[in-house]
Structure 1
């Protein structure tokens, strides 16, 4: 609640955008939806820039990841005009993931000796979960098995790096970003299922909702981040 009051104006504006995106998607107002979806990431970019002043490498990498997320979401919108834009959008989101991983790695590097038990749990659970998900998708992938495997590895690394921030940053930032990454992975999983296995009614709407929650939590976690053992210029 404190965080909501602290950024009250932005939270109200984001909630309004969130509702408008879902309503326009449900009502199938395509042109309105095309305009609103990029506004979600643009709002997060402006908020994050003004709040953090991009004062260190962590904030700069997170900001760059958001720029690629904006690129990816825009390309996804254009896939109806050219199916190849879907692939380009996926590549943009993978680059977004890599910049997020790079940001989280800075926090992990600040005290690599901490929470080794938590790190082992994160590695083991990620290995089991993402291996199972890959074999769930594998019969439907055809020639895309290797690229999808590489994508799943990157996503697994994202959740592990988010988990590795434990005890290195304040708990509010850690929990917000970890929750945001979990939602992000949820959006990725729904997208993969809809694209490779079976699309279902309102899948695009569900992906949009989960994605908007994910990016909001990650950005809030980045804005509230306090490194316990600061590194120079991080």
Structure 2
């Protein structure tokens, strides 16, 4: 169950998300969107920082770094229309964020759990996505392969927390990791394969709730 603090923040977060989606749908280069998009992660960073005094200091530090690099990625991707270099910079920022999440999740991993079936499913998913994208990636082939490996590792490491942390913490973090993977997959398909309907909404919706669920889940672990 969500606490009163979590419910109040969730309402604020959803309002900010709706504001971001609305402003980007009207004009993604408008000044309001440059405020709305970073506001999501800034609010989450502040919330996590204030609510995380009870958790392991290393996990707190790595999670804050993951959120800060995600914020950097959000900011860089807002300027993609000006230069492709901003996309590459955003990719590197989110790659770094995923690595920090991997470090957080592995610190809480269940050492007795192998996760062979889940790893197989992730490999199949990654292979299918790569097969769809491979002919359109061009010079982005290696960076995208590296990114896919890291995000699949992030989802797998979230799964490996099972039975090592409290159930509610595991469920929220795992759902968040899967949503993050889905968000990045939609973004990749939309950019490299073909434009998808309602892509801005689906990318931001899954991304925002991915970050929210991961933060809530980590805070649930004593």
Question: Normalising by the residue count of structure 1, what TM-score does the alignment of the two structures yield?
Answer: 0.89
CA distance in 1, matches of 2:187, 2:37: 16
- The alpha-carbon deviation at position 5 of structure 1 amounts to 3.0
SS at match of 1:144: helix
Q: Provide the rounded CA distance (Å) in 2 between the counterparts of 1:143 and 1:31.
A: 32
Contact 2:158–2:174 (CA under 8 A) maintained in structure 1: yes
Deviating runs (4+, > 4 A) in structure 1?
A: none
C-alpha RMSD of matched pairs (Å): 1.6
8 Å contact kept, 2:108–2:161: yes
* Structure 2, unaligned runs of 5 or more: none
User: C-alpha displacement at 1:21, in angstroms?
Assistant: 1.3
Distance (Å, rounded) in 2 between the aligned partners of 1:142 and 1:83: 13
Match of 1:104 in 2: 105
Alignment of 1:144-159 (within 5 A): 144-159=140-155
Aligned twin of 2:42: 42
Distance 1:160 1:173 in 2: 15
2:164 maps to 1:168: yes
Structure 1 residue 6: Cα displacement: 4.2
Equivalence for 2:91: 90
Unaligned 5+ segments in structure 1 are 227-234
Q: Which residue is 1:230 aligned to?
A: none
Give TM-score, length-normalised by structure 2: 0.93
Q: Secondary structure at the match of 1:80?
A: coil
**Counterparts of 1:4 and 1:86 in 2: how far apart (Å)?**
38
Written as runs of structure 1 = structure 2, the 5 A alignment for 1:1-234 is 2-3=1-2, 5-28=4-27, 30-53=30-53, 55-108=56-109, 111-113=110-112, 115-116=113-114, 119-226=115-222
Q: How far apart, CA to CA, are the structure 2 residues paired with 1:6 and 1:71?
A: 26
User: How many angstroms apart in 1 are the aligned matches of 2:76 and 2:140?
Assistant: 20
- Cα distance in structure 2, aligned partners of 1:43 and 1:123: 33
Q: Secondary structure at the match of 2:90?
A: helix
2-side partners of 1:126 and 1:153: how far apart? Answer: 10
Q: Name the SS of the counterpart of 1:182 in structure 2.
A: helix
